Chain A
Amino acid sequence: MKVLLNGEPFATDAKNLDELCARLGLAEAKIATALNGSFVAAASREETPLTDADEIEIVAPRQGG
C-alpha cells in the first residue's frame, strides 16, 4: 500500500503503526506519532492498523522558540 509518511509518498506493507516505526529503525527512538491528523499514543501504535492513503506523522524533539 501507499501511505503519506511525513508528507512524502511511501510504500509499505507494515500492518500497523508500531510495525512501521520498527521497520524505520525508530522502535526505540524518542518519537511521537499521528495518523490522519489525530494523535496516536505509543501504547496504541500496535493496535492501529494502516490502510492505503493513510497520512502518518512521526515527529521528534527539535529546537524551538
Chain B
Amino acid sequence: MLTLYGAQFASHLLLGTAHYPSPECLRQAVEASGAQIVTVSLRRESARARTGQGFWALIEELGCRVLPNTAGCRTAKEAITTAKMARELFGTNWIKLEVIANDDTLQPDLFGLVEAAAALTEDGFEVLPYTTEDLSAAERLIAAGCAVLMPWAAPIGSARGLTNKDALKTLRAYFPDTPLLIDAGIGTPSHAAEAMEMGYNGVLLNTAVAKAGDPVKMAEAFAKAVEAGRLAFEAGLIEPRDMASPSTPLAGTPFFKIDHAS
C-alpha cells in the first residue's frame, strides 16, 4: 500500500499523461498500468481551440486521483501562481512542484524549490517536490513541510535509469519514514523494479510508456515491474557475496569422498 499525505493506494506506479499517440491510447495505458494517480499540467487555453476542455473530459473518465504539476516554471513565484491556478482548476491541494533550473538537464532549482514549497505548504497545499538526491535539499524540503519527496533518477525523458544509486540508497536510509517516489529518468521496467527493490515507495514515469512502441503493453510491463520490486523489498533481499555458495545441499552428494590422505 502506498500512503501519500494520508491517502492510500494499492498501486505504487504514478503515470504521466503526455506524449501518447492518441487520447484512446492514453486511456488504455492508464488502465493497463493500474495507476491510481496520474499527473497533469495546465497550459494557455485558446478561445478557438479549447484544447483543455476535451482533455479534462478524458481525465475525468479515468477516475484516477489527479496530481497537477508546475512543469516549465523557472522561478518560485511562477510555480506558486501556477500551483494556485492548478488547485482551483483540478480541485486538489496536491501539487507536483517543479522549479526548473536548466533547459538542457531540466534539473530542479533546489533553492527556488524550497522557497516555493514553504510558501505553498503555508497556504494549505500538500507538496510533492520534484527534487534531486541531494540530502541537504531533502532536509530543507521536509523542514518546509513536504511529507513526500520525489528525487529524480536521471534527467526528465532521458531513459537513463538510476544514475546515482549510491546517493539514492543514502537518501532512502536517511529518511526511512518519508515516502520517496522516483520521478523522472526511468527508461525500462527493470529500472523501476530496481528503485522499488531499494525501498522506494513508488515510481512516477511518463515518457518510457508514452513513447514505447506499444504504450499499453509497456504500461502493463511497468505495472508488473513496480509491484515485483515492491514485493522483493518487502520479502527482504539476500546480501551479495564474493564467493560461490552451493544452492544444492552437499550432504549425500553421490560419489562424494572425503580425502583422508591429506
Q: Which residues of A contact B (CB under 8 A)?
A: 6-7, 24-26, 29-34, 37-39, 41-42, 57-65
Which residues of B come within 8 Å of A, CB atoms? 16-20, 26, 39-47, 50-53, 55-56, 59, 68-69, 71, 77-78, 81, 84-86, 88-90, 156, 184, 206-207
> How far, in Å, is A45 (CB) from chain B's closest CB?
11
**A41 contact set on B, CB distance < 8 A:** 88
| Contact A32/B85 with A62-B51, A64-B17 known, Cβ cut-off 8 Å | yes
Q: Is the CB of B42 within 8 A of A62?
A: yes
Q: Which residue of B lies closest to A33 (CB)?
A: B85
* Cβ-closest chain B residue relative to A36: B81
The SS class assigned to the B binding surface is mixed
* Chain A residue with Cβ nearest B183: A65
Supplied contacts A32-B42, A32-B88, 19 more A-B pairs, CB within 8 Å: A26-B45, A26-B47, A34-B81, A37-B77, A37-B81, A57-B44, A60-B45, A61-B40, A61-B42, A61-B59, A62-B40, A62-B41, A62-B55, A63-B16, A64-B17, A64-B41, A64-B71, A65-B69, A65-B156
B212, chain A: closest CB distance, angstroms: 14
Query: How far does the alpha carbon of A60 sit from the alpha carbon of B59 in the complex, in Å?
Result: 13
In the bound complex, residues from chain A placing their C-beta under 8 Å from that of B88 are 32, 39, 41-42
Q: Determine whether the beta carbon of B47 is less than 8 Å from that of A60.
A: no
Residue of B nearest to A63 (CB): B18
How many Å from the CB of A40 to the closest CB on chain B?
9
Contact residues in B for A7 (Cβ distance below 8 Å): 44
The distance in angstroms between the C-alpha atoms of A6 and B46, with both chains bound, is 9
In whole angstroms, what is the CA distance A18 to B46 when docked? 16
B75 to chain A: closest residue by CB? A37
* Chain B proximity of A23: nearest CB distance (Å): 9
A65 contact set on B, CB distance < 8 A: 16-19, 39, 41, 69, 71, 156, 184, 206-207
- Other-chain residue from A25, A30, A34, A37 in contact with B52 (beta carbon distance below 8 A): A30
Find B16's partner among A33, A60, A64 (CB 8 Å cutoff).
A64
Please determine whether B40 and A59 come into contact, CB atoms closer than 8 angstroms: no
**Shortest Cβ distance from residue B180 to the other chain A in the assembled complex, whole angstroms:** 18
Contacts of A30 in B (CB 8 A): 52-53, 56, 89
* Best-surrounded residue of A30, A37, A41, A65 (most CB of chain B within 10 A): A65
